[in-house]
Structure 1
Amino acid sequence: MKIFRLTILSLLTGALMTACNMDLETELEYKSYEFSGIDEDAGNWKPILISSGSELAIDAPSGVASAEFLAEVEGVKSTIASMSGDQRKNVDHWTNNAVLRWNEVALGLIAKYNLIPGPNVDESYTLPNPANPAGPPVFPFSHPPYASRALAYLSVAQYDGMISAWHYKFQFKRPAPYQVDMDIPHAYVSNNLPSYPSEGAVLATVSRKILTAMFPLEADYLKELEEQHLESLILAGENVPSDLEAGKKIGEEIAGIALARAADDGMKYAQSPKAVSDSLRQAAFDRFGWQWENLESPVRPVGLTPLFGKVKMWNVQNVEDTRPPVPPAPGSEAFEKDIKILQDYADNVTHERRRIANFWQDGLGTYTPPGHWNDIAGEYILKYKLNSIRTARTFAYMNMAIMDGGISCWDAKYYYYYPRPIQMIKDFETIAGTPNFPSYTSGHSVFSAAAASVLTYIFPQEGEIFHEWAEEAAISRVYGGIHWTFDATVGTTQGRDVAQYTIDVAKSDGADD
């Protein structure tokens, strides 16, 4: 089986307290490439946050024969003529599909802030506070639910912004400066896209605004990236300044709409007070006669995001519609059978099982399971040479499904409050730590199955390998000793079922017509 390598090769957790700017080392290396198509009708696709591509209004551009436009073209020529070596590197870096680059930025920030807050001297805990992001502890703690949400808002806003950009591109059809003046060198492979408004400017602005809201301590770093990206569009011969201004306007507006939704989606209540967490514990015990116990030392008073299951979903109306069946009761035949399976795995830790457990671990200091699947998606986007709007669409639907899957999973976790193997099997040891939240169902399993399902819809010819990886990710948690086998198998079914809601929406957005 082919195995993907992690994109982020090294991100030391100690860097969290250092300067915000960081160099993200990746293996997703690519250059400007010819798209498999340009989707001239994509401006008519149905967006997610807005009603249509025309909802975000921009002014008509000046004509190519106008003095205003010709002056801009001359300015582009002059700017390119004085380009420095560092500027040339930036042009090469951003390429003609910068959706991938901004996704990499998001993964790097997730990994950088995926550091669990430690105890205070008196063994109490202080939660990260968005009102005081510098902390201590710093905000955010980008655990898997947080990562799934950040990636969903980023990619959805990018996608809607791109639909708006495509709508106006093919309404006005103003050519790029390199097409108007043959003396302007073009740094990228030509895909003959109209240049007004600049889709790159949409991406630069919307990505900077969404990621700044999610990672407020990185505001300066993200602003610098936005400026570098915008400058590269001029230096590449892709755009004139008025193209950028129109794209930035779309980016600002769609980011505002996305962040308004985020402000009211319930995430600010996800990390609930101890009294709320205790009430969920008691409710589960009253229903089922069991309860998960946190075995950390010192004990963290509240599990991870008990109310993430109440956060607003993207494509599911009622989270209870996706809640999985009751897990096996402790002491039941199915439960005792699972104990034997886990004990056998623990007693026979093969090299292959350990490799699988480690590969899909995606723990602290990494970009989490949602990020891992974004990395996988990027590889196939390049393989099939998707254009930037198809790239944004892929990430948007995949990340909505991942987030909805996570919400459904966390609903089940805190509804059933099911204990983990280490709590129920005497002298049991794990090789993958012990997460600070209940067992049923497995988050890795749900995230992975949801992602694999959407990627199979986008790339049906690759579906077999996507589903194999999702199942491997699920069993990895059993090999690691932190989940029951039914956590993984039921979680895989749950992820696929939840993803189908998103796939049904995708099938009706016009992109498949």
Structure 2
Amino acid sequence: MKKLLLLVCTMACLLSCTSHNDYQANVQNPDRLHRSVKKITDIIVHDIFSPPVASRIYAYTSVAAYEAARHQDSTLVSMAGQLHGLEPVPQPQAGQTYCYPLASVQALLLTGRALIFSEDKLDEYHKALLEEYHQSGMPEDVYQRSIDYGAKVSEHILKWASKDNYKQTRSFPKYSIQDSESTWKPTPPAYMDAVEPHWKKIRTFVIDSASQFKGVPPPAFSKDKNSEFYKLAIEVYETGKHLTDEQKEIARFWDCNPFVMNVKGHVMFATKKISPGGHWMNITHLACLKEHTDVPHAAEAYAKVALSLADGFIACWDEKYRHLLIRPETYINLYIEESWVPLLQTPPFPEYLSGHSVISSAAATALTGVFGDNFAFTDSTETEFGLTTRSFKSFREAALEAASSRLYGGIHYRPANEKGVVMGTSLGEFINRRLRTRNTAVASNQ
């Protein structure tokens, strides 16, 4: 009888341990965090947010996810006091058990819901995701405590976001087209208004100000055929006329224009695609998968990349609307060939600097800081949009190709790309130095 009782107790203990281990393995899988970031991206594409606005969404949602997830690893520290205006984030209750991966996606999705338009699409996904956690075997009190904590973190992050001057910029006047020959004018086929002319007034996240990385001005505008500016325009024109298949593929791969207008006779319709920031957030996902990164460190990677993107757009837009430079398509049509059309559709904002060059270099620098240099990867981001994969030996190599793509696409002169890489790299290196996410003293003692 005693042996039977001992056997029953042993089996019960084993079953209990197995159930506990299964639940822990289930909730620690970072797949739900990656899927949630991708869901935010899908809704950003659906709602057609401009690249700068998309970067803002990524920044706040990623910081929310990180601030909830970091408690799982004692070596990770809060970004409060490091990001402008971010006050101490609510802490978990001492002595209580939490599922921090659940709190992290809860914080991310609640924050995202307040920043996007298609709330119903996110609500449906959010409900199904929470049910996955609920069915994981997690104790009910841990489940409820975790989603409550994620909600508190989100509420704190959204209060912080509300003070970044974004709402005020929604009522600022539209860009007024300048009379000067050198300045940007709306481009075909939709001749859209200039996007986010006041973006430099958004509160920065890590960098000191929008103009901290103010670069050299572009070459002086000129119609003289012997001038540097005319020669730069000729380079864009000739490159566009003699593109190789590889150059066309590169240009289309990095196009990342969230709102391409198609004209068929008298009918005009839009094609929705991923933004430049969304492309680099997905590269972050791919890097995490390759390295089998756990939830708190995946959240760290997303946050670092998102903050580099957000500050990169603020700094770049400060440059764009300082110089107001004419786009190659406009210049070439006026002074070289009236019927010339670039491979890519020209985005609706001034030319200098190249936004993709800036933010790609900033994001690549952030990723290098997390995963190291010479990190080879295959980028499959654009396959869902009908394009092929591309492979790179490092994040920097990918960023340099993204910069080159703008010349191939016919939407930037060479200096905008090259100087954009300089700005983005400098900005990214500054953020890597300034923003501390690891408590090295704790890490060295473990």
Which TM bucket (shorter chain)? 0.7 to 0.9
Q: Deviations over 1:258-282 (max 9, x none)?
A: 11122221222445654x5229x58
Structure 1 residues without counterparts, runs of 5 or longer: 1-72, 81-90, 115-141, 175-195
SS in 1 for 2:402: helix
Q: Deviations over 1:387-416 (max 9, x none)?
A: 100000000011000110011111111111
SS in 1 for 2:416: helix
Corresponding position: 1:408 with 2:302: no
Q: 1:210 aligns with which of 111, 115, 124?
A: 111
CA contact (8 A) 2:27 2:101 kept: no
State the partner residue of 1:252.
151
What is the aligned-residue identity percentage?
25
SS in 2 for 1:390: helix
CA contact (8 A) 1:405 1:450 kept: yes
Per-residue deviation, 1:96: 4.4
Q: Aligned in 2, Cα 1:330/1:108: closer, same or farther, shift over 3 Å?
A: same
TM-score normalised over the length of structure 1: 0.67
Q: Deviations over 1:226-266 (max 9, x none)?
A: 332222224223x2111122212221111112111222212
Q: 1:388 aligns with which of 282, 295, 303?
A: 295
List aligned pairs for 1:29-178, cutoff 5 A: 95-114=29-48, 142-164=49-71, 166=73, 172=95
Matches of 2:401 and 2:434, distance apart in 1: 27
Matches of 1:377 and 1:473, distance apart in 2: 16
Q: 2:417 aligns with which of 488, 492, 496?
A: 488
State the partner residue of 1:126.
none
CA contact (8 A) 1:405 1:447 kept: yes
Q: Aligned in 2, Cα 1:389/1:93: closer, same or farther, shift over 3 Å?
A: closer
List aligned pairs for 1:238-387, cutoff 5 A: 239-270=138-169, 273-274=172-173, 277-278=175-176, 281=178, 290-296=182-188, 299-300=191-192, 302-331=193-222, 333-363=227-257, 364=259, 365-387=272-294
Q: Deviations over 1:357-406 (max 9, x none)?
A: 11111123122111111111111101111110000000001100011001
State the partner residue of 1:459.
371
Matches of 2:108 and 2:395, distance apart in 1: 27
Q: Deviations over 1:113-140 (max 9, x none)?
A: 22xxxxxxxxxxxxxxxxxxxxxxxxxx
Q: Aligned in 2, Cα 1:392/1:508: closer, same or farther, shift over 3 Å?
A: closer
State the partner residue of 2:361.
449
CA contact (8 A) 2:240 2:408 kept: yes
TM-score normalised over the length of structure 2: 0.76
Per-residue deviation, 1:505: 2.8
Matches of 1:481 and 1:170, distance apart in 2: 56
CA contact (8 A) 1:272 1:307 kept: no
CA contact (8 A) 1:292 1:420 kept: yes
Task: Count how many residue pairs are aligned between Structure 1 and Structure 2.
Answer: 371
CA contact (8 A) 1:422 1:482 kept: yes
CA contact (8 A) 1:98 1:203 kept: no
Matches of 2:126 and 2:289, distance apart in 1: 23
Q: 2:426 aligns with which of 489, 497, 500?
A: 497
Matches of 2:319 and 2:148, distance apart in 1: 41
SS in 2 for 1:462: coil
Between stretches 331-340 and 466-475, larger displacement belongs to 331-340
Per-residue deviation, 1:110: 1.5
Q: Deviations over 1:19-75 (max 9, x none)?
A: xxxxxxxxxxxxxxxxxxxxxxxxxxxxxxxxxxxxxxxxxxxxxxxxxxxxxx99x
State the partner residue of 2:131.
231
Matches of 1:254 and 1:234, distance apart in 2: 20
Between stretches 445-454 and 220-229, larger displacement belongs to 220-229
Matches of 1:367 and 1:270, distance apart in 2: 24
Q: 1:200 aligns with which of 86, 89, 101?
A: 101
SS in 2 for 1:320: coil
Between stretches 458-467 and 486-495, larger displacement belongs to 458-467
CA contact (8 A) 2:358 2:421 kept: yes
CA contact (8 A) 1:159 1:392 kept: yes
Per-residue deviation, 1:444: 0.9
Matches of 2:166 and 2:251, distance apart in 1: 30
Per-residue deviation, 1:334: 3.0
Matches of 1:368 and 1:298, distance apart in 2: 19
Q: Aligned in 2, Cα 1:107/1:320: closer, same or farther, shift over 3 Å?
A: same
Per-residue deviation, 1:169: 8.7
Q: Deviations over 1:200-238 (max 9, x none)?
A: 3312321221121122432x333333332222224223x
Q: Aligned in 2, Cα 1:227/1:95: closer, same or farther, shift over 3 Å?
A: farther
Residue identity opposite 2:365 in structure 1? S
Matches of 1:491 and 1:298, distance apart in 2: 26
**RMSD (Å), alpha carbons:** 3.0
SS in 1 for 2:129: helix
Between stretches 501-510 and 248-257, larger displacement belongs to 501-510
Structure 2 residues without counterparts, runs of 5 or longer: 1-14, 75-90, 260-271, 376-392
CA contact (8 A) 1:200 1:233 kept: no
Matches of 2:364 and 2:318, distance apart in 1: 21
Per-residue deviation, 1:504: 1.3
State the partner residue of 2:347.
435
SS in 2 for 1:321: coil
Q: Aligned in 2, Cα 1:304/1:385: closer, same or farther, shift over 3 Å?
A: same
CA contact (8 A) 1:210 1:255 kept: yes
State the partner residue of 1:62.
none
Residue identity opposite 1:290 in structure 2? S
